[in-house]
């Protein structure tokens, strides 16, 4: 779970990012008037939303939505199952060539280079 910058909000304010897929799809807990709402955002658009009645069940709902989303749309193949070495969330492939690929994490912002020989370097 990653708290995100309110400047990234859109309509309402996204308070907590619950998960992010390699293709950039993410699930957030957001404000909605006086209440809370759980959302799935894809490409800047909200593709699924529901009021959050009981905060104790948000993580469970988020994981069920993740499974349903991946069953419907297929798993994200962009990063070839790369995982962020800092937070363990899915990585997003930014650029690739036959001998190296640049990856980033949508949750913690980590950016790193993986080379074909298995070496990894963190970007500054």
pLDDT tens-digit series, residues 45-102 = 899 999 988 888 888 898 888 888 877 876 554 445 677 878 877 777 777 677 788 8
The residue among 62, 46, 42, 48 whose CA lies nearest residue 12 is 46
Q: What is the pLDDT of residue 9?
A: 40
| Contacts of 4 by beta carbon, 8 Å cutoff, 6+ apart | 14, 15, 16, 17, 28
Residue 48 sits in the same domain as residue 82? no
Q: What pLDDT does 80 receive?
A: 54
Judge if 123 and 91 occupy the same domain: yes
Quick check: pTM over 0.85?
no
Three-state SS at 109: coil
Range of the domain at 27: 2-73
Are residues 95 and 118 both part of a single domain?
A: yes
> Are residue 90 and residue 111 in the same domain, yes or no?
yes
**Do residues 38 and 89 share a domain?**
no
CA-CA distance, 116 to 6, in Å (whole number)? 37
In this prediction, residue 123 has a pLDDT band, given cuts at 50, 70 and 90, of low
Bigger pLDDT: 62 vs 4: 62
């Amino acid at each position: 779970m990653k708290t995100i910058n309110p400047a990234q909000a859109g309509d309402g304010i996204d308070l907590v990012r619950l998960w992010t897929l390699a293709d950039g799809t993410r699930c957030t807990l957001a404000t909605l008037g006086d209440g809370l709402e759980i959302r799935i955002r894809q490409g800047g658009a909200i593709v699924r939303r529901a009021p959050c009645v009981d905060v104790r069940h948000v993580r469970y709902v988020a994981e069920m939505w993740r499974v349903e989303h991946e069953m419907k749309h297929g798993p994200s193949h962009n990063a070839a199952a790369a995982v962020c070495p800092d937070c363990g969330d899915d990585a997003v492939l930014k650029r690739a060539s036959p001998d190296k690929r640049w990856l980033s994490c949508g949750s913690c912002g980590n950016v790193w280079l993986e080379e074909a020989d298995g070496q990894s370097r963190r970007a500054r």
